[in-house]
Chains A and B, each alone.
Chain A
Amino acid sequence: MDGRRILLEFVLLIFLPFVFAILVPFAYKYIKGIHTGWFVLLVPLVLFGYYLSFIPLTMDGGHAISEIKWIPTLGIAFTSYIDGLSLLFTLLITGIGSLVVLYSIFYMDKKKENLGSFYVYLLLFMTAMLGVVQSDNTMTLYLFWELTSISSFLLIGYWYTRDKSRFGALKSMMITVFGGLMMLGGFILLSIMGETFSIRELIAQAPDLVSHPYFTSALILILLGAFTKSAQFPFYIWLPDAMEAPTPVSAYLHSATMVKAGIYLVARFTPIFGTSSTWIWLVTGIGLLTLFWGSFFAVKQTDLKAILAFSTVSQLGLIMSLLGAGAISYHTTEAMFAFATYAAIFHLINHATFKGGLFMIAGIIDHETGTRDIRKLGGLMSIMPLSFTVALIGSLSMAGLPPFNGFLSKEMFLESMVALRHFELFQFDTWGILFPIVAWVASVFTFTYSLYFVLKTFLGQGKVDQLPKRPHEAPIGMLVAPMILASLVIIIFFIPNVLGKWVIKPAVMAVQPTLYGSPADIDIHVLAWHGFGSVGLWLTVAIVIVGSLLYLTIPKWQPLYKLQPAKLSLNEGYDALMRGSEKGMNRLSRAYMTGLIRTYLLYMFAFLSVTVIAVLFIKDAFVVDMNSFAAITLYGALNAVILLLSIGFVVFAKSRLAAIIALGGVGYSVALFFVIFKAPDLALTQLVIETVSVALFLLAFKHLPALNEHGETKKTKVVNLIISLSVGVMVTLVALSSHSQKLIPSISQYYKDTVATEAGGGNIVNVILVDYRGFDTLFEIAVLAIAGIAVLGMIRLRVSRKETTDENK
Chain B
Amino acid sequence: MKKNNVILQTTAKVTFFIIFLFSIHIFFAGHFAPGGGFVGGLLTTGAIVLLLLAFDLETVKATLPFNFTVVIGVGLLLSLGTAAGSILFNVPFFTHAFAHFELPLFGDTELHTAMIFDSGVYLVVVGAAITIIQSIGGDE
Contacts and interface: CB of A to CB of B under 8 A. Distances in A.
A759 interface: yes
A692 B42 contact: yes
A580 interface: no
A784 B139 CA distance: 21
A763 interface: yes
B29 to A, nearest CB: 8
Interface string A780-798: 0110110111011001101
Contacts of B60: none
A763 B32 contact: yes
Interface SS of chain B: helix
Interface in B15-47: 26, 30-39, 42-43, 45-46
A766 B69 contact: no
B35 A766 contact: yes
B112 interface: yes
A771 B94 CA distance: 8
B133 A795 contact: no
Interface residues of B, number: 48
B35 A763 contact: yes
Given A684-B34, A699-B136, 17 more contacts: A684-B26, A685-B38, A700-B136, A760-B98, A761-B31, A763-B31, A763-B36, A770-B114, A777-B79, A781-B120, A784-B125, A788-B127, A789-B69, A791-B132, A791-B135, A795-B135, A798-B139
A688 B36 CA distance: 13
A660 B114 CA distance: 37
Contacts of B49: 692, 695
Contacts of A695: 49, 133
24 contacts: A688-B46, A692-B42, A692-B129, A700-B136, A759-B98, A762-B32, A763-B30, A763-B31, A767-B31, A770-B96, A770-B117, A770-B121, A774-B96, A774-B114, A785-B72, A785-B76, A785-B127, A787-B128, A788-B131, A789-B72, A791-B136, A792-B69, A792-B132, A795-B138
Contact of B42 (A685, A766, A785, A791): A685
A541 interface: no
Nearest to A691: B46
A696 interface: yes
A775 interface: yes
Contacts of A770: 36-37, 96, 114, 117-118, 121
A763 B112 CA distance: 14
A719 interface: no
B68 to A, nearest CB: 8
A781 B37 CA distance: 11
A781 B35 contact: no
Contacts of A385: none
A689 interface: yes
Contact of B128 (A763, A775, A788): A788
B12 interface: no
Given A763-B33, A766-B30, A781 B132 contact: no
Interface in B80-137: 80, 83, 94, 96, 98, 110, 112, 114, 117-118, 120-121, 124-125, 127-129, 131-133, 135-137
A769 B118 CA distance: 9
Given A778-B83, A781-B124, A787 B36 contact: no
A728 interface: no
A604 to B, nearest CB: 28
A782 to B, nearest CB: 7
Contacts of B75: 781, 785
A373 interface: no
